[in-house]
Amino acid sequence: MVARSASASRLLPLCAPWLAAVMAVLPLFAPEVWTGFRLAPSDIILANLSFAEQPLSVRTPLGLWPFGVALVWFGLAYWRRDARAWEAVLVLVGGAAALARVGNQWVFGLLMLAPLARQVGMVRWRPWSFGVIAAMGLAATATTLVVTRPPELPPSAIQAALTSPVTGTVFADWRWASQLQSKAADSRTVLARGGLVSEPADYWLDYLRVTQGHERWAALLRDWRVGVVVMDAAGQDRKVAELIKNSAEWRVLVDAHGTLVAERAPG
């Protein structure tokens, strides 16, 4: 028992800085949880759809967190005048990746782990301060996850979309496309089923036009041979949802819980 507690007391100073670093960078992984992790530059079209596709800014949800993490590392290193070249390289590379695209923050988080742990490990902390860091990291992670969580697709909408007899592709809000495709299996083709990188740039430009209620929205849906639409009528797609409801070309199947499902009307 005594030996176990002795080894634990030796391990704690070694592990605590790493645990603190993990907790500090944890919120940086949150933005990509719902859409899948990838490393890419920001895209001017996709940036209109998802904040994770935008370059990092102070207006990004919790956008100051990565800045704060970098500042803590810099502050500790500057205070002690002790930073290794490898630390600076990791911070710069990770920082550039995060600045280029919010969704790349996980790379910054990974690369910051070692520099942050090293700097934290060289400071004498009171035990409770690690608890504070952990609580802040968890709170920031939870907040980011809640803020960035896509709206839920009601089962009735899935049912209506997949049982519609109308042929053609399904044009769904991009956050629901993969879920719909997995339910549909091979019975239907859902556009953008593979996420934001699964369709060409032309598609996303048309997608934006449609969801923003462009004058040619109906023609664009015809061009993509769309038979069924599944829209976030309370959020990103509300403009086109209103147009669909008032269009003779479309028949509404579900209009509830902020979701609109419609099929192309016969004739």
Q: Which residues bind to other proteins, rule: CB under 8 A?
A: 42, 54-59, 67, 74, 77-78, 81, 83, 92, 96, 99-100, 212-217, 239, 243
Residue 178 Cβ, how far from other proteins at the closest point, in Å? 28
Question: Could you tell me which residues come within 8 angstroms of residue 248 by beta carbon, excluding any fewer than 6 positions away?
Answer: 265
Minimal CA–CA distance to 187: which of 211, 220, 158?
Answer: 158
Distance in Å, CB of 240 to other proteins, minimum:
9
**CB of residue 47 to other proteins, shortest distance in Å:** 9
State in angstroms the smallest separation of the CB of 33 from other proteins: 23
In this complex, which beta carbon is closest to other proteins, that of residue 53 or of residue 173?
53
Q: How far is the CB of 107 from other proteins (least distance, A)?
A: 14
Q: Which is nearer to other proteins, 57 or 182 (CB)?
A: 57
Contact 217, 171 (CB under 8 A): no
Question: Between 163 and 212, whose beta carbon lies closer to other proteins?
Answer: 212
State the DSSP string of 16-27.
Answer: HHHHHHHHHHGG
Identify the burial level of 243 via C-beta atoms within 10 angstroms of its C-beta, where 0-12 means exposed, 13-18 middle and 19 or more buried: middle
CB neighbourhood size of 221 (10 A): 23
In the complex, minimum distance from the CB of residue 54 to other proteins, in angstroms, rounded to a whole number: 8
**Cα angle for residues 8, 13, 16 (degrees, 5° grid):** 100
Q: Based on CB atoms, which residue is closest to other proteins, 217 or 250? A: 217
CA distance 230 to 166: 14
Q: For 85-197, where are the alpha helices, taking DSSP H only?
A: 85-100, 105-121, 127-148, 155-163, 177-184
Least gap, CB of 205 to other proteins (angstroms)? 11
135 versus 219: smaller Cβ distance to other proteins = 219
Query: Going by C-beta distance under 8 Å and a sequence separation of 6 or more, which residues neighbour residue 59?
Result: none
86 or 163: CB nearest other proteins: 86
Closer residue to other proteins, CB minimum distance, 36 or 75? 75
Q: How far is CA 266 from CA 49, 89, 251, in A?
A: 31, 61, 9
